[in-house]
Amino acid sequence: MHINDLDLTQIRLVAELVRWHSVSRAAQRLGVSQSAASHALAKLRKSLGDPLFTRTPTGFQPTPVGARLGNASCEALDTLLAGLGSAEKFDTLTSTRVFSFFMNDIGQTVLLPPILKFLKQKAPGVSARVLPVPLENPGAALSAGTVDLAIGFFDNLNTGFFQNLVFHERYACIVRSGHPRFRSGMTLDAFKSVEHAVADATGMAHAVIDRYLARHRLKRNVTLRVPGLHVLPMIVANSDLLAVVPSRLAEVFAPRVPIKVLPPPVAIPQFDVCIHWHERYHQDRAIRWMQRAVVDLFSGDRR
């Protein structure tokens, strides 16, 4: 089949069938009748000499040819939408855009409140949606445009992505106020003798902490593991545990719960918190405004 024989409706139809596995749902998304969608699919089947989609108990499922054509159609439409979106004006005073972000628990605790305050002042109709960071391939959602920006430490957003530094982050130790082992501050002996609480470091910068401690022949006596770092200040405040956390997280909680913030007993390298976006949307005016706003918002906080 020659590309000149394809029209945009057929490309959209195949893309919607891949996404929804239903002719009626695809027709609804295209704004055509179900019979018109069925006729377009029949014409495409005849031209390509392949059924493309077959009916199953779980809906219309693509054949190998249908899957390849469907994936190509989805990518083509994403690219087209990105190009159309880049030409749209973005007026901060009238826009009602919803920006979607990937942020981990630290980002939601530390970054989100200032960002929301900024939006309320500068773009009152704009809102934000935060999604959990997937463990595998976070770039897929950014490439497809279902997520606009990712903020944090990402070592798997390289080829095809732009990034800007938001700030450098360092580590701090937190213990409860009045902890008997730290009345005089941090000591190497106290760090080694107390029990530690840690968070799952999968996909985060914090996976390096124990490697650097090991260089100094230090091993944490871990008695508690939790899924996220943001709960550690509350746990530490009510126990004799010690936790190593990003310094800004410690600073957010220090005025609110009875914890003491101390330096680590040995040097642990800082890490960069960056904002990332896909190259497809580099010319999208709204995304460019948002990423610049985030960078400017925290530019005075680079230590």
Residue spans of the domains in the chain: they are 3-86, 98-168+272-301, 171-269
Answer yes or no: is pLDDT of 159 > 90. no
Residue range 98-168+272-301 forms a domain whose CATH class is alpha beta
Q: Which CATH architecture has domain 3-86?
A: Orthogonal Bundle (1.10)
Superfamily name and number for 171-269? Periplasmic binding protein-like II (3.40.190.10)
DSSP string, 223-266: EEEES-GGGHHHHHHTSS-BEEEEHHHHHHHTTTSSEEEE--SS
Answer yes or no: is pLDDT of 113 > 60. yes
* Tally of residues, the chain: 303
Same fold across 98-168+272-301 and 171-269:
yes
| 229-286 pLDDT per residue, tens | 899 999 999 999 999 999 999 999 999 999 999 999 998 889 999 999 999 888 888 9
Measured CA to CA, the distance from residue 251 to residue 268 in angstroms comes to 18
Q: Out of 49-58, 70-79, 148-157, pick the least confident.
A: 70-79
Q: What's the predicted TM-score (pTM) here?
A: 0.69
